[in-house]
Amino acid sequence: QLSKRLALVADYLPKGAHFADIGSDHAYLPCFVCMKDPEARAVAGEVNQGPYDSAKSEVEKHKLEDRIDVRLGDGLAVVAPGEIKQVVIAGMGGPLIRDILEGGKEKLSDVNRIVVQPNIDSRSLRRWFFQHDYKLVDETIVEESGHIYEILVAEKGDPSSPYQQQMIEREMWLGPYLLEKRPEPFIKKCKEEWNKKQYIIKQMKQATSPDEEKLKQQQKELKWLEEVLQ
Ligand code: SAM
């Protein structure tokens, strides 16, 4: 049984996908997609030997070796330029996912969709998409086992179109589609963030010489959260 989180990631792949799952671990995602869709093919990339071995045995267990190629290597180094049409990177921090995309951007020439699931700091990915002409086309959020996970989907296109000019900083942080759709886990996440911010601001104010710039930024973000929670 695939986790709810990875099932949602899988939903964003088209029929007949030819994708790379970078940091595939047990290769659960590519196995699930390829079992459901006989046209799908995948490269499961892993930088660590242990997860690479697990991915290999999972693929063999399902007899999917002809459609899922498990490769050992760092990030997108495991694929050739033009080889794949979609990229999935899930279950890592936003900055690590961003570094993997940045480090392998020449491999993305034929990639028409990128699906990422950052565990933290989705803002770093919205920024990367914006700076590299990827249009954010959807976002979703899911709660599972006490964690809240965001999923971001991007395609080549006008990167500014999902954002409102005056609100861009706020939307980059919280997500333009999530702000629009307001799903329940998003509201819950905003409440948690609000509590954290309150605490941070209190701590900052108690410091002997608070960093005024940082304090202002925190207060601005607290206000944005309050607007969501109103
Ligand atoms: N993608 C799966 C998921 O979402 O459930 C597994 C997530 S697991 C927490 C992260 C995996 O990414 C680990 O197996 C780790 O070895 C791998 N990883 C970390 N950095 C990587 C990199 N630069 N290139 C490829 N794999 C990487």
**pLDDT tens-digit profile of 36-47?**
999 999 999 999
119 and 76 share a domain? yes
118 and 23 share a domain? yes
CATH code of 33's domain: 3.40.50.150
Q: Tell me: pLDDT of 133 over 90.
A: yes
Q: How far apart are CA 211 and CA 219, in angstroms?
A: 12
Q: What is the pLDDT of residues 75-124, one digit of tens each?
A: 999 999 999 999 999 999 999 999 999 999 999 999 999 999 999 999 99
pLDDT given for residue 172 in this prediction? 97
Residue 136 lies in a domain: yes
CB 138 within 8 A of CB 177: yes
What is the count of structural domains for the chain? 2
pLDDT given for residue 161 in this prediction? 95
Question: Can you give the residue range of the structural domain that contains 212?
Answer: 186-229
Atom of ligand 1 minimally distant from the CA of 100: 23
Ligand 1 pocket residue status of 23, Cβ below 6 Å: yes
Atom of ligand 1 minimally distant from the CA of 51: 14
Q: Is 156 exposed, middle or buried (0-12, 13-18, 19+ CB in 10 A)?
A: middle
Residue 169 lies in a domain: no
Atom of ligand 1 minimally distant from the CA of 25: 14
Ligand 1 pocket residue status of 92, Cβ below 6 Å: yes
CA of 46 to the centre of ligand 1 (A): 6
**What was the ipTM of the complex prediction?**
0.99
Q: How far apart are CA 116 and CA 154, in angstroms?
A: 9
What are the contacts of 45-53 at 24+ separation with CB within 8 A? 45/20, 45/21, 45/71, 45/73, 45/75, 45/76, 45/78, 45/79, 46/70, 46/71, 46/72, 46/73, 47/23, 47/72, 47/73, 47/74, 47/75, 51/24, 51/25, 51/26
123 and 193 share a domain? no
9 and 118 share a domain? yes
Residue 14 lies in a domain: yes
Model-wide pTM > 0.95: yes
Dmax of the chain from CA atoms?
63
211 and 151 share a domain? no
Ligand 1 pocket residue status of 90, Cβ below 6 Å: yes
CA of 87 to the centre of ligand 1 (A): 13
Ligand 1 pocket residue status of 200, Cβ below 6 Å: no
Atom of ligand 1 minimally distant from the CA of 91: 4
- The helix (run of H) or strand (run of E) holding residue 44 is strand 41-46
pLDDT given for residue 194 in this prediction? 98
pLDDT given for residue 99 in this prediction? 98
Residue 74, classed as helix, strand or coil, is coil
35 and 134 share a domain? yes
Query: Where is the domain boundary, 147, 162, 177?
Result: 162
153 and 202 share a domain? no
Ligand 1 atom 19, closest CA: 23
38 and 94 share a domain? yes
pLDDT given for residue 81 in this prediction? 95
CA of 229 to the centre of ligand 1 (A): 34
144 and 197 share a domain? no
Residue 111 lies in a domain: yes
Instruction: Quote the percentage of the chain above a pLDDT of 70.
Output: 100
Section 59-87 average pLDDT? 98
Ligand 1 pocket residue status of 48, Cβ below 6 Å: yes
74 and 30 share a domain? yes
198 and 145 share a domain? no
47 and 101 share a domain? yes
Q: Tell me: pLDDT of 1 over 90.
A: no
